[in-house]
Chains A and B, each alone.
Chain A
Amino acid sequence: MYEPTDQASTATEYPAGSQISESDWHILAGFWHPVAFSSELADGPVAARLLDVDLVVYRTSEGAAVARDLCVHRGSKLSRGWISDDGACIVCPYHGLHYDRSGQCTWIPANDPDSAPPPKTMRLVSYLAAERYGIVWACMKPEPLRPLPEWPHLDEFGPEWLRIQIPKGTWAATASRHCENFNDIAHISWVHMKTFGNRARPVVPDYTLEQTDYGLYMALPYIEVERGFNDDLGEREREVFYRHHLTYPFATDLRVDYYEDDGESFFTSHFFDIGSPVSARTTDIYQVSLTNIPGATVEDYAEYQLVTNSEDIVIVESQRPENVPLNLAAETHIRADRLSVRYRRDLVEMFGLGSPEMIA
């Protein structure tokens, strides 16, 4: 499914000055992370930053590609360039060098047209790239530690489903703090008082929590308060059922079933949320929703999601320390926090994150 780029010699690519510890960096570089929405590539290459590395994300006729944002010729930013008319190459804005999807330089315009083609060694530092779910993903190691999240219903959905893409947000918080917040149940009744939170329901029941091959699965019921922003329907309680599928390290599919008054039939929304670690304390948030609620509109959904995010962002950005303490004794955990305890343990036990000897 992915075309491996044939040069991914990134083992020494730890960016100088990164606030991410070197050991954590090499681990995180082995996962797939979003670097752009597919829709962003319509007008040509875009710049992105992942784990403190500046990237160019572009799409050729062969597919999406990701490389260091650096022309090997004179170091210009390729993200300022464009896609060649035949769609096969990215063109450097400085001297017009052309590079194909694999990063190979295919044309040096200044050379005599009769001279030999550019040498095989003249190529960009390219990374694994994949395009799925309307998102371009990159992995900075030749062998990904884990596959992409498996969300088949987002690959293909029937006409009763509406897909909503939320504008990319940037949070001044670590990706794990964001991810824990997205999967935190107890905060809903406190933080989401403009959207779906119910102050009268602060109690967290003993919920289902399972370790899975992709990460964690959590399921529990809640009673939301439905607040129409743009209608006069006022507030009413509604029963919902949450299913969280957390794909390690930072991607979640939250499925919400909204029950009708009969308590049996329901409509469903999925909130897909992926935090992309731009740097130690900056995270780009990629969110896509699917819903089969009749009459739902992209505008309303996007606004709802943005308001929800803005309720969370101030809280999450205020958490200290900014880094998630992987030593469990450093914060306090209650039964409601079982998911986050398991998450932190797995980051350490499965992947070796937060390795103490490597922390500078």
Chain B
Amino acid sequence: MTAPDPGSLLHPVAGCADLVPRHVVKARLLGQDLAVWRADDDFVNVWADRCIHRGVRLTVAANDGAELVCPYHGWRYSNRSGNCAYMPAHPSDAPPRRLRVPTFRSEERYGLIWSGGSPEAEPPRLPHLEGEDTLVLRALPVNAPPDLALQGLLEWPCQPVPAPGDGASISCDSAGPFAVAVTARTGGTEEAVVHFVQPVDGGRCVIRPVMRGAPAADRRLSILRHHARQLEELRTRLESSAGSPVAVRGPSTPLQPLRRPTATAVSGRAPQLEVCVARKWLTAEGIAAFELAPVSGQLPSFQPGAHVDVHLPNGLVRQYSLTNGPGLTSVYRLGVKLEPDSRGGSRCMHVSVHEGDRLQLSEPHNNFPLRRDAARTVLIAGGIGVTPLLAMAQTLQRQELAYELHYFAQSDDHLAFGEVLEPLSTGLVKHLGLSPDQTADEIKKITHDYGTASHLYVCGPGPMIEATRAIAADSGWPEDAVHFEYFKNESELHDASSFEVRLARTGQTLVVGPGVSLLDSLRDAGVDMPSSCEQGVCGTCMATVLEGELDHQDVFFNDSERAAGDRILTCVSRAGGHKIVLDL
């Protein structure tokens, strides 16, 4: 029998009990350093222990229950997806969706967390432990190669529990490629401990013993001590035969990061997610609420302010903001108002979409990013416009940042998502039944004292957004402090032009429309373009230009490279004229 490739299996990386709240466990498996943490929703994340920005270990990041915060530049990474959710140096930019920490499998079994690079493998099932309670004994890191430890365990018939009686017959058997089961029989009783060996790297391992059965409380501690002492003895032997009690570094098989749990294509607005309507209810007068659960895998994470495109059964595509706060990661929650003069979007959602139905969604997009560095954050919601602001308010509340949420609605019955509003009470102000003039007066009061580092977010009916912008401008709010949905984003990209691109190698010609990046257009046309920053900084998305004027909007090229005009960064730059030819 040839030994299986350890990279094709799952291995334990921590005990479930190691993952205390708001903590990040440091682990290492097959030469890959891991950061393992439990979010407040109980999801266990197994991530590469490396911030994708400048490589700082994420095991020194702070676990705030929903995000990990890197200590070097404060980037935040979301629970489950590992997506970068926020970059404090550029607070008004939504981080590109593909910025994510490599994530690995995470499964719980027998009181241990299991991980590995294989998408299919399962943690082992062992007859010794099935169908019983288990007790996780003390794990012991050993500075000796895993195979040496396995060999040592087979030759070390350690009495698993203290004195079950003389004459116990003890057997040690291999229980799979990385486990040794020890069974002790006396009379009618049988005790079993399985020692799982976590291959840390070529020269080190962790022995993780799990005992069958849950001993009585008074015996528990003595069993733990007894076993720890025995294992300690074994470790001393192993380390002296391994030659050095100091950590050795040997060859190691790197783990394969998991593929994205959802489709990788990020081209344009094609539907990429299949979801199922898990719950639909009337949350307020004329407003239906939906919870959409993934049909398989996980939902991509998103930042407050984001929306998804919903592909409706009647063929229409509608954009709806996500109301989710940071803790809610298993479903997307939307609110849809029935518009009396609906051309069929909201009507379809209200009438034709039922619980259990399947829908196609785009990945979340964010044109309405929330800064988390404001001295004062004012959220102004009109009616259904509350949806993205609910996501914002919950995020701010969780980070204990001050905010005011002004919710304008016709009446109490028109207030949506009461169960979400409830815990927000400190920051929430309701303005009910006001006329447009009264509303304007109220907004004047809210915005009258602009102070530096204040930010205003408004979402609601068009006229209300317009009125708010005008009032805020009058009260001295600078333009870049007033944010509203459907405004592209604040970075000064000029993407209003439309131009033609010819791909010299394939002969294709595409049209890049206003508001669409050259990068996205190329991807839509099936060109596999790499990208990273999507801000014109890193040069990853470069293409060679054969012909045509360029409108460089990156900060990557220096003046002479710019003048040469033979390369373009497709994520931000565009044609200067009507047409360019690329060497693609």
Q: Which residues on A are within 8 Å of B, measured CB to CB?
A: 180, 184-187, 189-191, 200, 202-204, 206, 211, 314-315, 318-321, 328-329, 331-338, 341-342, 345
Cβ of B54 and Cβ of A319 under 8 Å apart?
yes
Cβ of B538 and Cβ of A332 under 8 Å apart?
yes
Cβ of B55 and Cβ of A321 under 8 Å apart?
yes
Cβ of B88 and Cβ of A202 under 8 Å apart?
yes
Partner of A315, one of B56, B88, B375, B532: B56
For window 40-63 of B, CB contacts with A under 8 Å fall at 49-50, 52-57, 60
In the complex, given contacts A191-B71, A334-B535, what are 17 additional A-B residue pairs having Cβ atoms less than 8 angstroms apart?
Answer: A180-B54, A185-B89, A190-B73, A190-B88, A191-B72, A200-B375, A314-B60, A319-B55, A320-B50, A328-B538, A328-B540, A329-B538, A332-B53, A334-B533, A335-B90, A335-B555, A338-B555
Cβ of B88 and Cβ of A319 under 8 Å apart?
no
Q: Which residues on B are within 8 Å of A, measured CB to CB?
A: 33, 49-50, 52-57, 60, 71-74, 84, 87-91, 99, 373, 375, 453, 530, 532-533, 535, 537-540, 555-556, 558
Alpha-carbon distance between A331 and B453 when the two chains are bound, in angstroms = 31
Q: Which residues of B contact A331 (CB under 8 A)?
A: 52-55
Cβ of B535 and Cβ of A320 under 8 Å apart?
no
Alpha-carbon distance between A13 and B327 when the two chains are bound, in angstroms = 59
Q: Which residues of A contact B73 (CB under 8 A)?
A: 186-187, 190, 336
A97 CB, min distance to chain B CBs, angstroms = 39
With A328-B539, A334-B87, A336-B90 already in contact, the answer to whether A190 and B72 are too (CB < 8 A) is yes
Cβ of B538 and Cβ of A333 under 8 Å apart?
yes
29 contacts between A and B (CB under 8 A): A184-B54, A186-B88, A189-B74, A189-B88, A190-B74, A200-B453, A202-B74, A202-B91, A203-B90, A315-B72, A318-B56, A318-B60, A319-B55, A319-B57, A320-B33, A320-B50, A320-B55, A328-B532, A331-B52, A332-B53, A332-B84, A332-B99, A332-B533, A332-B538, A333-B532, A334-B53, A335-B535, A341-B538, A341-B539
Alpha-carbon distance between A187 and B71 when the two chains are bound, in angstroms = 9
Cβ of A190 and Cβ of B556 under 8 Å apart?
no
Interface SS of B by simple majority: loop
Closest to A322 in B: B55
Closest to B48 in A: A320
Q: Which residues of B contact A185 (CB under 8 A)?
A: 89
Q: Which residues of B contact A191 (CB under 8 A)?
A: 71-72
Closest to A345 in B: B539
User: 5 nearest interchain CB pairs?
Assistant: A202-B88, A333-B538, A336-B89, A319-B55, A186-B89
Alpha-carbon distance between A345 and B538 when the two chains are bound, in angstroms = 10
Alpha-carbon distance between A200 and B33 when the two chains are bound, in angstroms = 32
Q: Which residues of A contact B555 (CB under 8 A)?
A: 206, 335, 338
Partner of A211, one of B71, B556, B558: B558
Q: Which residues of B contact A335 (CB under 8 A)?
A: 89-90, 535, 537, 555
Alpha-carbon distance between A337 and B89 when the two chains are bound, in angstroms = 10
Alpha-carbon distance between A107 and B25 when the two chains are bound, in angstroms = 63
